[in-house]
Structure formats: structure tokens, C-alpha cells
Amino acid sequence: MLSAFFEIKMRFDAVFKDKFELDGRLLCAAGFVRRGARVCDIGTDHAYLPIFLCKAGIAVSALACDVNEGPCDRARKNVAANGCGGMIDVRQADGLAGAESFDPTDIVICGMGGELIFRIVRGSPLTKKSGVRLILQPMTKAAALRCALVSHGFEIVDEALVREDRIYQVIAAEYTGRTPSLSEAELLLGPVNLARRSPLLYELAKKHLDTEKAIRLNKKLHGVDHSREDGIVSVLEKIMEEKR
């Protein structure tokens, strides 16, 4: 995944140079979009991601959606300024409403809370269509998003961690109908991230370890059962021991 990220970064620099900034979260998400994709970008804002994907030759077409008219106006201006009017359609829409006619292969939802992301995913039959990939970047509640995905038949096929002002998680998922259970550590950190054991994984594990210890202490002080926290703290401590 790291090599793919740097390849995407090189493509971005080659295509845009100093035209605009695409942050690490979006570059990381771009790395999961498959070549030849028809991309639907939900919450597109400035449409920077679909513009990059089309101009870099990764996507053949894109639908840039936002629920608000202001971002759609900005997106239309940017699409026109970058000569992408024939490849990118900008549409004001709530989630994936009206995207059926576009028939996307890759659906990107970045920069929202995990629960809102899943409401959008669950609200459209497009997300369960065979061969459709979801590329999701939750700002909060990544564990809740993973739990909802796997319990509703979506398999996590790839993941990555990326650092900006903090560590963000990017999740690629596809519908299979299978509902495997994930451990608490897998929900918090991601099963693929755990398998890869990148340096950022240990930083994220430490953050969650501190949080779970604080929750456990508070429960102890108030005489509340903390067996759940005991279990996750034990697992996270073992992960951190590897770093030493």
C-alpha cells in the first residue's frame, strides 16, 4: 500500500504541480480506486479528487456529488477550469440518490463521521452491487463503521493508515453477504492494518490503549463492570510490546 501511495503522489505532482492541494487522506483514498473506474465521489466539495482521478488516467468518468449547492458551484467551476467537463458530472444530491443512472464501479465517501458514512452506504442498493468497491475515510468512529460494514455483509478488502494532523484510517470494502465477526482490536485498528503492522499502527494502538485505560479507570472508580476494557487493554498492550 505504501508504494501505491507514493505512485499516486507522483501522479498528482505530475498532473497538478502547484494548481491545488490534495491532502494525504484523499491521496490515500485515490490509491484504492481501480484503474478504469467510474467513480462516484460523495461529499465532493471542490471536486479535487474526481478531477485528479480523471486527469491522471485512473478513472474514465466521475460523478461528483454534494448535498449543498455551494460546494457544487465550486466543483463545477473547478471541473470546467481543468477541462474535465466531458468526464465529470457534478450533481447536488443527498448521498447516492440518483446515482443509479451513472452506474459507478467505485464509490468514495471521505471526510464524514463513520455513522453517517454507513447510513449513506446502507441507504443505496448500489453499494451491494457485484463488483462495486467502497472507499471510505471516516473522521470519527472507524470501529463503529467496521462493525456496521461486516455485520451487514461487507468485506474489508484493503485498508491504510495515513498521517495528517492525526492518524486517519481509509477502508476499502465490497459486498459479499458474509458476516464474519471481528475482534475488538480488529474493529479499532482494522484487520488488514493489523496484518501489515506498519509504524503508524503502533501509534494508533497507543492512542487507543490510553483511551481504554482511562475508560477502565473511570469504570473502576464508579464500580462499573470493566471486563470489556480489561480484554482490549490486554490485547493492545501485547501489540505495543512488539514495538519494544
Is 176 exposed, middle or buried (CB count within 10 Å of its CB: 0-12, 13-18, 19+)? middle
Between 105 and 11, where is the model more confident? Answer: 105
Selection from 41, 25, 34 nearest residue 163 by Cα: 25
Identify the pLDDT of residue 182: 95
- DSSP notation for 178-214: ------HHHHHH-HHHHHH--HHHHHHHHHHHHHHHH
**Cα 66 from Cα 4, distance rounded (Å):** 28
Class of domain 2-180 as given by CATH: alpha beta
Q: Where are the domains of the chain?
A: 2-180, 197-244
Evaluate if residue 188 carries a pLDDT over 80. yes
What cell does 236 get?
493492545
Query: Among 8-17, 67-76, 119-128, where is mean pLDDT lowest?
Result: 8-17
Considering the chain, what is the average pLDDT of its residues? 93
Q: What percent of the chain has pLDDT over 90?
A: 88
What pLDDT score was predicted for residue 144? 98
* pTM higher than the cut 0.85: yes
